[in-house]
Amino acid sequence: MRFLFSPSSPFARIMLTIFVCICCILVALFLSFLLALPLFKVSFIELTQVSRNLSDPNNIAILKFFQFVQSICLFILPPFIVVWMLNEKILDFCSLRKLPNFQKAALVLLLIITALPFINLLAELNSRLILPHFMSGIEAWMKQSEASAAKITEAFLNVSGKRNLLYNIVLMALIPAIGEELLFRGLLLRQFNIWLKNMHWAIIATAILFSALHMQFYGFIPRMLLGILFGYLVWWSGSLWTSMLAHFINNLMAVIFYYLYSKQLIGKSVDTFGATSATYIWAALSAVVVTGIIYLIYKQRISLSKE
């Protein structure tokens, strides 16, 4: 027997989604700690201190386990639970029935790859954010949080061997691409559109939440713009698989590039390509090409609507 729940307003449905997400993350925190105790043979106190010593491979393994469990519970479970509570079908509600054709998938692949220099430039500009003097305390906290997150991310990416690389691809590219798109562009985007009665504002609101949830302040703007791009990809294609593909490619490039850098096969300058005075021209060219590809994807949507 299915559970029927029909909130009286779109806003109430959004509140329901947030409530389910909070419950799921609480369950994730409890489960991750409960399962980690026997799996890694450590005490509860040791579990609470794993992030203090990132040079210990066992601590990195524990943190990756935490992220795995919490990503599943926070991003993948809530859409299924909420859609079930609303007595809807997940494939229809989250636009999962329609698969992108080869041409559209190729355009998405080209779009994300060519956007890299422009995204790097935006990230560099965002990192130069300076808050007013009276907010110096907040700024110091933001910088400390950013530095801590960067250390953990670098520790996650610093692996050797194809097996560990594959695990990173699943953990840091595949699961976020599926889970975050299910939650933000699959579940929340539709609900914001019903509430705001405007898809443009719904896409922007969803992108702001998407970027804010990552808690990385000096990457907020490029991540928000990526969220906006993912939202329009879903709207224009009618398929969540399109944004999942774009999200996966974006994260996959970061994982692969760092792995190749650790093997000294490429220079780390790929992270700043487009963000230095010597490569600004590539960022400008990237913006032009990206605009052209976005127009082609939009044009496909227009042509399909006329058929």
Closest CA to 149 of 160, 141, 138, 139: 141
Joined tokens for residue 263: 């093997």
Q: Find where tokens 């994300």 sit.
A: 112
Radius of gyration of the CA atoms of the chain, in A? 20
Boundary residue ending a domain (42, 69, 88)? 88
Is the domain of 143 the same as that of 76? no
**Do 180 and 231 form a contact (C-beta atoms < 8 A)?**
no
* Domain match, 143 and 36 both: no
Q: Give yes or no: residues 36 and 155 share one domain.
A: no
Q: Give the pLDDT of residue 282.
A: 95
pLDDT computed for residue 7 by the predictor: 64
177 and 277 both lie in a single domain: yes
Residues 9 and 145 in one domain: no
- Per the structure, the complete domain to which residue 111 belongs is given by 96-306
The CA distance from 22 to 82, in Å, is: 12
Dihedral angle sign, alpha carbons of residues 22, 23, 27, 30: positive
pTM of the model: 0.91
For residues 174 and 219, membership in a common domain is answered with yes
Cα torsion 189, 194, 196, 200: sign = positive
**Shared domain check, 17 and 148:** no
- The pLDDT of residue 305 is 40
**Same domain flag for 140 and 252:** yes
d(CA 59, CA 50): 5
Q: Which of 88, 112, 140 is the last residue of a domain?
A: 88
- Tell me how far apart the alpha carbons of residues 226 and 109 are, in angstroms, rounded to a whole number: 14
259 and 187, same structural domain? yes
114 and 84 in a common domain:
no
Q: Which among 88, 105, 138 is the end of a domain? A: 88
Angle between helices 199-213 and 220-237 (to 10 degrees): 140
Cα 99 from Cα 88, distance rounded (Å): 20
The 8-class DSSP code of residue 218 comes to: G
Q: Are residues 195 and 55 in the same domain?
A: no
Write out the two tokens for 245.
Answer: 């593909």
Residue 63 and residue 166 share a domain? no
At residue 5, the pLDDT reads 55
CB-based contact 106:214 (threshold 8 Å): no
Tell me the pLDDT of the chain (307 aa) as tens digits: 445 555 667 888 888 889 999 999 999 999 999 999 999 988 888 888 888 888 888 999 999 999 999 999 999 999 999 999 888 899 999 999 988 888 889 999 999 999 999 999 998 888 887 878 777 787 787 778 877 888 888 888 888 888 999 999 999 999 999 999 999 999 999 999 999 999 999 999 999 999 988 877 878 899 999 999 999 999 999 999 999 999 999 999 999 998 998 888 787 778 888 988 889 999 999 999 999 999 988 887 744 444 4
* Total domain count, the chain: 2
Picking from 169, 150, 171, 176, the residue whose alpha carbon sits closest to that of residue 247 is 176
The pLDDT of residue 8 = 65
